[in-house]
């Protein structure tokens, strides 16, 4: 039975991914800081693991536990992450650094810890959950988008490094998904820049985020992750969820100025 480690598994995409991999026959270790939120996963036979991707000792001990109990890790799903929004001049650099710690450096550290075991086995699959935000941009989202652009570039280089050892690296690019992410992003946005010079942009971008009611269920992304884990020759990227493909298509075919105008128009429309 194959073994999968899924981070950020206490809710949303991570929780749904743990469930769907378990259904697909994997021994699943669901990792998150909020262990109490994963009681439902444990009741289904999924193994829950306390892990904080901003604490090195937590990640080291977590990987050691999985390898000690299961003997190997076949699939790593790096899903832990959040969106920190606000004007660049308003966001404290400590918050910007923390955004990178969670979204980029935690992901990278788990790759460092897991890839030696995969190399030794001569096979493995690393699935990094990025976002369409790793290809597009928004005002007031500079730090979040920076982290996702970093995940995209990191994953591309990593794919070439690990290919000779039989390890595939896959990027998942969700569009709009019904998770806690949107609420957290809007809360951070309003708290950081809602009362200053950028208040008008905050109102407009909050209007765009209000469309998350039309977003896809987390299972849509979980199903894509299972597909990426199981495919004999996986694609390097999978885009799925509300708006993902048309938005990425628009970004490919439009100039920067044209895409700027498209996005700013959408902000005015939803304000």
Domains and CATH numbers, the chain: 3-179+216-245 (3.40.50.720)
Which of these, 242, 246, 2, 244, lies nearest to 127 by C-alpha position? Answer: 2
The pLDDT of residue 213 is above 70? no
Could you say which of 85, 137, 144, 198 is catalytic? 144
In sequence order, what are the beta bridge partners of 168? Answer: 125
pLDDT at 271: 64
Give CA–CA dist 271/261, Å, rounded. Answer: 15
pLDDT at 180: 79
pLDDT at 212: 66
pLDDT band at 153 (very low <50, low <70, confident <90, very high): very high
The rounded mean pLDDT for the chain is 95
Phi, psi at 23, each rounded to 5°:
-60, -30
Enter the pTM of the model.
0.95
Whether 137 is catalytic: no
CA 162-74-117 angle, 5° bins: 60
């Amino acid at each position: 039975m194959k073994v999968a480690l899924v981070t950020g598994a206490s809710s949303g995409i991570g929780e749904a991914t743990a469930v769907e991999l378990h259904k697909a026959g994997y021994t699943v270790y669901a990792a998150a800081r909020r262990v109490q939120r994963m009681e439902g996963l444990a009741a289904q036979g999924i193994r829950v693991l306390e892990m904080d991707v901003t604490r090195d000792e937590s990640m080291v001990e977590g990987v050691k536990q999985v390898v000690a109990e299961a003997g190997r890790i076949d699939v790593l799903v790096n899903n832990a992450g959040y969106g920190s929004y606000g004007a660049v001049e308003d966001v404290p650099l400590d918050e910007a650094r923390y955004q990178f710690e969670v979204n980029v450096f935690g992901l990278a550290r788990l790759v460092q810890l897991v890839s030696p075991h995969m190399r030794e086995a001569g096979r493995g699959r690393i699935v990094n959950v990025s976002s369409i935000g790793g290809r597009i941009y928004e005002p007031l989202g500079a730090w979040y988008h920076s982290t996702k652009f970093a995940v995209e570039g990191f994953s591309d280089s990593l794919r070439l490094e690990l290919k000779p050892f039989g390890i595939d690296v896959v990027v998942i690019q969700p569009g709009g998904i019904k998770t806690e992410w949107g609420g957290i992003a809007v809360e951070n946005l309003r708290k950081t820049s809602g009362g200053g010079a950028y208040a008008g942009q905050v109102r407009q971008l909050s209007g765009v985020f209000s469309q998350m009611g039309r977003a896809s269920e987390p299972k849509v992304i979980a199903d894509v992750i299972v597909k990426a884990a199981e495919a004999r020759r996986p694609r390097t990227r999978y885009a799925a969820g509300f708006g993902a493909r048309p938005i990425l298509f628009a970004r490919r075919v439009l100039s920067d100025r044209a895409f700027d105008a498209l996005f700013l128009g959408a902000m005015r429309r939803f304000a």
